[in-house]
Amino acid sequence: MFHYCLAHTAYHLSRRLPRHGRLKFQVIVVLFVTVILVPQLYVLLRPKSARFCQQPLLNNLTCFIVFTFITTGFTMVLTLVDPVPQEVKAGFHVYGLASFAVGLCTTVLTARAPQCAKTTPELYYLSLVLSICCMLSTAFFLIMGACWIANKLFPGLVLDKRSQTGFCYQPGVGNWCIYTDSPYHEIPIKTLCLDKER
């Protein structure tokens, strides 16, 4: 889910900016995607990468590069269009499932190919780094999904902007806060805030 996570993060970050300031953000996104894409293309074009490896890591890297290009397109559409049409959102979420499948394949193939570290070291270690990125982004979405389900089942447990209960982020103030004066807590505790400026 690494690709889906990149586009999802760019979308939500762009919504925090005024519309006239999004062009600079898109330039930064293109530079960031380029930084991610350059090592992949470098390893793909290395002669050592064509050596024998028992697992199809080279084919997987090619698929990963294609997904990186698609991510760039989705990122541009999601940050430019406001509001985003439902069809684009639906397509993006389907793309997220495909991104999860690619990340899972990358992780499984890399885990089954430790012998490729000797024959194709750059390819193996890049696949290892990409696998770790995929696992971290999947864990991030699992946590977010659990929070979303918890908030649907118990409204206000995770986030309730009106009564300021649950674990929340106050975008206007810029503080991370834990509001514990919630009906779901047995003992009301004083609100804890971590101010960024301190």
Q: What is the pLDDT of residue 127?
A: 92
| Successive 10-residue mean pLDDT values, the chain, 198 residues | 88 82 81 88 85 85 92 87 87 93 93 87 91 93 85 73 55 44 41 42
Return the number of other C-beta atoms located less than 10 Å from residue 62's C-beta: 13
Q: Which two tokens stand for residue 39?
A: 């090592």
Cα–Cα distances in angstroms (integers) from residue 144 to residues 59, 119, 140, 187, in the given order? 31, 39, 6, 25
User: How many Cα atoms sit within 13 Å of 50 on the Cβ side?
Assistant: 3
Q: Virtual CA dihedral for 23, 83, 97, 126, nearest 10 degrees?
A: 10
Q: What is the pLDDT of residue 104?
A: 94
Q: What is the pLDDT of residue 188?
A: 38
The pTM for the full model equals: 0.73
Q: What is the pLDDT of residue 161?
A: 61
- What span, in angstroms and rounded, lies between the C-alpha atoms of 58 and 52? 10
Q: What is the pLDDT of residue 166?
A: 58
Q: What is the pLDDT of residue 192?
A: 43
Q: What is the pLDDT of residue 128?
A: 93
Q: What is the pLDDT of residue 111?
A: 92
Query: In 3D, which of 114, 163, 193 has the Cα closest to residue 184?
Result: 163
User: How many Cα atoms sit within 13 Å of 173 on the Cβ side?
Assistant: 10
